[in-house]
Structure 1
Amino acid sequence: MIDVRDLDVELGGMAVLDAVSTHIDEGRFVGLVGPNGAGKSTMLRAIGAVLKPDAGTVSLDGESVHDLPSRAASRRVATVPQDTSLSFDFDVRDVVAMGRTPYRSRFRSSVDPAGEEAIERALDRTETEEFADRSISAVSGGERQRVVLARALAQDTPILLLDEPTASLDINHQIRTLELVRELADEGKTVIAAIHDLNLAAHYCDELLLLSGGRILESGPPERVLTEANLAEAFDARAVVSRHPVTGAVYVTALPERGGDREGRVHVIGGGGTVSRLLYVLSVAGYEVSAGALGEGDSDLETARLLGLDSVAVEPFSPIGSEAREAVAELIGAADVTVIGDCEVGTGNLANLECARASDALVVVEDRPFAERNYAGEAARELYGALVERGTVVGSGEVLGAVASAMERNP
């Protein structure tokens, strides 16, 4: 459907696109992602014949889009720009009707039943019909964004280009808009959208093009494009790539840079969400952090995975078996400090505390008396008491300092 070959674009004496080539099949929803200034908007403008490239070609079904008459190009490609400000004061319905301009004769006015149907359908699908008779100057920025999308839908083209289509929308209408765009692609329309939110792009798009420095760094399915290495190269950012626990889509979590003044390894024992924040704080501080054993579905385990930490997982509501126990013992053996969170202890996870006995340095977090969270009886009480005698007991807000002190005592 769309073939881009060796596209070069210079703006203000600077190369914005450099030998960009890609092929996009009919009925695909393709997301353009990348840092600001990567060339996403410029690429959309070149594909839509709004901007003529300095070199290279953009072909639609074998025809150069830049050789097509304006009216012919507008029957093939509709664009929703990033800037949706309008310099005229028409009713919303009239603005949407402007999408039918490529189909109207310049020399005679005629009834356009297909056009009227397209306008009503566009108003309905974008949920703008309720304020169709309102002046465009009287609607909000988010509503105006939806009106401009409706105008593009009324244009009834096989190709739709969207530049940051959710930028002015609240979260509810972000989802509704991308659900609509996904439906349009499923119905056969080819969609290319510059999308700032990587997680929305991964969830809704069939393919992604990752632009960086005016070139395509990677292209293909989201799981191939959104890797930690690619994100580090394109955005110069530290990020963890995982799977969203609900949707199963690729999920990107951006992290602050690690602090340069903290070194060492810390193993954290927790569960039930008691150490999620602690895992984050220790990781950002610069420590190499591990966690476990934790049951599948536990929020502490999900946090560890989102942060890209080494972790030991077991089946939910199952005791820690010999293999998992060995893995925990190995992580504790490699750690300089072991932190025991303010978690509940039962017979299923008692093995975590047993493994902690081998730690060279212990920090015990106690916000609640152990008796309130002990479900493993006298054996657990005695074991916990022995760990407390060897370790440093602190509240949850004092862990970072306690870990630093333990590191100093046990270099």
Structure 2
Amino acid sequence: MSRDPRPSTEATDRADPLLAVEDLTVSLGGNEVLTGVTASADRGQFVGLVGPNGAGKTTLLRAITGALTPDAGQVRIDGRVVADLASKAASRLVASVPQDTSLSFDFDVRETVAMGRTPYISRFGRRTRADRQIVESAMARTDVAQFADRSITEISGGERQRVLLARALAQDTPLLLLDEPTASLDISHQIRTLELVGDLVADGRTVVAAIHDLNLAAHYCDDLWLLGDGDLLATGDPASVLTEDRLSTAFDADALVTRHPVTGSTYVTALPTSRGDAEGSVHVIGGGGSAARVLYLLSSAGYRVTVGALNEGDSDTETARHLGIDPITVDPFAPVDAGAREAVGDAVEAADAVVVADVEVGDGNLANLEAARRGDRVVLVEDRPFSDRNFAGERGQRIYEALKERGTVVGSRDLLGAVSEAVDSGGQETGATRTDREDGTESDESLSEFADD
């Protein structure tokens, strides 16, 4: 089996990028689809190709494989110009998984995966034991070995997607291109597929994948290429590429960019173009990203929203300001002081309802939780048990339990319904609240809790 000799030039140095797209311009049907695109991907890097429909993502992937001849520019893989290579030579450098999983032939799954070995077999040659081992390994890695003997036409679209990924793995190339690899998959298999891709990258393979879900792309990819109208608008790590201004330019839509409170990855939320017609005011207590979704939902529904106290620099502070909400704040890393505590109490009393997000509570922000007791109608979002996020000890637990006794506890999915009921209930106070206010118990305890703070 002969291979094209590798050119002895500096272009093949291991320090150079595995993939280099150089000033690439491509036209289809007389229309320019890509214009002067220049980007590169290093060995062992996972690049996400993102952008709106029609931006040119699939065209760029096809140009990288050599399936399309560019009007100008070139693509280099491992130092070699793809357009100058024979089909088999190019197929030893780059494998692709298309978005369209429909196949016209009626081969079984094993034979379909074995097609990935074609670039390594001579015209009259046969597959070797090593070829068969590579095929079996690819099927096992993509979890399709269980239906290896079934016809490719008898399995689901999501299963075919995994078969085509197995075929690409069997091709054993340094560069792998994926066009919407999660489009036909349920959430479980989306995660498993991207985790598998991550493992391939960790093994040294370079992957470029067109991914429509910006949050999946931000979480799993090392770098992103953002395409818009055939132009490459930005390249770099997800945080630097997925800015609100760039998303507005690329997608012609408003978006909120924050940090995911659990993973810490860049998180994009599309904002509605119009607000709902809900009436009433809601004060939100959160922090550490726990209130971002709450603020977005309540603001989008049309409620007048206040929030705090939050630290300057907190992601919830940034979210509030993006939504046009002026938060009550304290200095970075500072505890809630007396002035902020009073401002929160006033906001709570003025609101028609109070929402306590699924926030972690410690000595520094316990004053927020105490201030919530001054509200008549409290909704507590509890996606995690309070014991898992209580760092204020018995005192924090006691205050939270007091809120639960007269408040409404919901999961985040049921937030809007609970807030609507609370706001609609108007000034109807519960018996416990009226009693507290009549005998002054709650007010006195509120002062004594923080007398020494």
The reply to whether residue 56 of structure 1 matches residue 73 of structure 2 is yes
1:203 aligns with 2:263: no
Deviation by residue 1:341-370 (Cα, 9 ceiling, x = unmatched): 1568x9755557989xxxxxxxx9474734
Q: Matches of 1:13 and 1:381 in 2, distance apart? A: 75
Residue 20 of structure 1: which of 18, 24, 37 is its match? Answer: 37
Residue 101 of structure 2 corresponds to 84
Aligned to 2:114: 97
Is 1:11 aligned to residue 71 of structure 2?
no
1:232 has 2:232 as partner: no
Deviations 1:153-195 (A, max 9, x none): 0000000000000000111100000000011011100000000
Residue pair 1:314, 1:324 contacting (<8 A) in 2 also: yes
Matches within 5 A, 1:114-263: 114-259=130-275
In structure 1, what is the equivalent of residue 353 of structure 2?
341
Question: Alpha carbon RMSD of aligned pairs, Å?
Answer: 4.0
* Alpha-carbon shift at residue 267 of structure 1 (Å): 6.8
Whether the 8 Å CA contact 1:80–1:165 is kept in 2: the answer is yes
**Residue by residue, what CA displacement relative to the aligned partner does 1:118-137 show, whole Å, maximum 9, x if unpaired?**
10110000000000000111
C-alpha change, 1:187 and 1:319, in structure 2 (3 Å) is: closer
- Aligned AA (2:168): A
Q: Deviations over 1:291-320 (max 9, x none)?
A: 123699xxx9898589674434689xx984
For residues 220 and 74 of structure 1, the distance between their equivalents in structure 2, rounded to whole angstroms, comes to 28
Q: TM (normalized to structure 2)?
A: 0.70
CA deviations over 1:174-220 (Å, ceiling 9, x no partner): 00000000110111000000000000000100000010010111110
Give the corresponding residue for 1:360. Answer: none
Query: Is the Cα–Cα contact under 8 Å of residues 163 and 193 in structure 1 kept in the other structure?
Result: yes
SS in structure 2 opposite 1:142?
A: helix
Q: Could you tell me how far 1:62 is from its partner in structure 2?
A: 2.1
C-alpha contact 1:270 1:340 (8 A) present in aligned 2 = no
Contact kept? 1:258, 1:285, Cα under 8 Å: no
Q: Is the 8 A contact 2:144 2:163 kept in 1?
A: yes
Do 1:258 and 1:286's aligned partners in 2 also have CA atoms closer than 8 Å?
no
Cα distance change, pair 278–2 in 1 and its aligned pair in 2 (3 A): closer
Kept after mapping to 2: 8 A contact 1:44/1:163: yes
**What is the alpha-carbon distance in structure 1 between the residues aligned to residue 226 and residue 434 of structure 2?**
50
Q: In the superposition, relative to structure 1, how do residues 207 and 326 fare at CA in structure 2: closer, same or farther (>3 Å)?
A: farther
CA contact (8 A) 2:285 2:368 kept: no
Q: Is the 8 A contact 2:286 2:308 kept in 1?
A: no
For the residue of structure 2 that corresponds to 1:66, the secondary structure is: helix
C-alpha distance in 2 between matches for 1:177 and 1:293: 41
The 8 Å contact of residues 126 and 147 in structure 1, kept in 2 or not, is answered as yes
Q: Which residue of 2 aligns with 1:29?
A: 46
CA displacement at 1:259 relative to structure 2: 3.9
Change (3 A) 1:91 1:161: same
Query: Which residue number corresponds to residue 397 of structure 2?
Result: none
Per the alignment, residue 429 of structure 2 pairs with 369
Q: How far apart are residue 15 of structure 1 and its match?
A: 1.2
Q: Quote the offset at 1:271 in angstroms.
A: 4.1
The alignment covers a number of residue pairs equal to 363
Match in the other structure for 1:397: none
Opposite residue 369 of structure 1, the aligned amino acid is E
Whole-angstrom distance in 1 between the partners of 2:285 and 2:430:
14
Match of 2:59 among 35, 39, 42: 42
**Partner letter of residue 233 of structure 1?**
T
Aligned with 1:269 (options 264, 283, 307): 283
Give the Cα separation in 2 of the matches to 1:198 and 1:254.
Answer: 10
SS at match of 1:9: strand
Is the CA contact 1:319–1:349 (under 8 Å) kept in the aligned structure 2?
A: no
TM-score by length of 1: 0.77
Identity %: 57
CA deviations over 1:198-248 (Å, ceiling 9, x no partner): 000001000000100101111100000111111111111111111111111
Q: 1:150 to 1:18 in 2, by over 3 A?
A: same
Residues 240-262 of structure 1 deviation map (CA, whole Å, 9 limit, x = unaligned): 11111111111111111134999
Q: Is the 8 A contact 2:309 2:368 kept in 1?
A: no
Report if aligned partners of 1:342, 1:365 keep a CA contact under 8 Å in 2: no
CA contact (8 A) 1:350 1:376 kept: no
Please name the residue that 1:401 is paired with: none
CA-to-aligned-CA distance 1:54-109 (integer Å, 9 cap, x gap) = 111101122110110100000010000111111100010000000000001102x3
Structure 2 CA distance for partners of 1:282 and 1:66, relative to 1, 3 Å: same
Name the SS for the 2:84 alignment partner.
coil
Q: Which residues of structure 1 form unaligned runs of 5+?
A: 356-363, 384-411
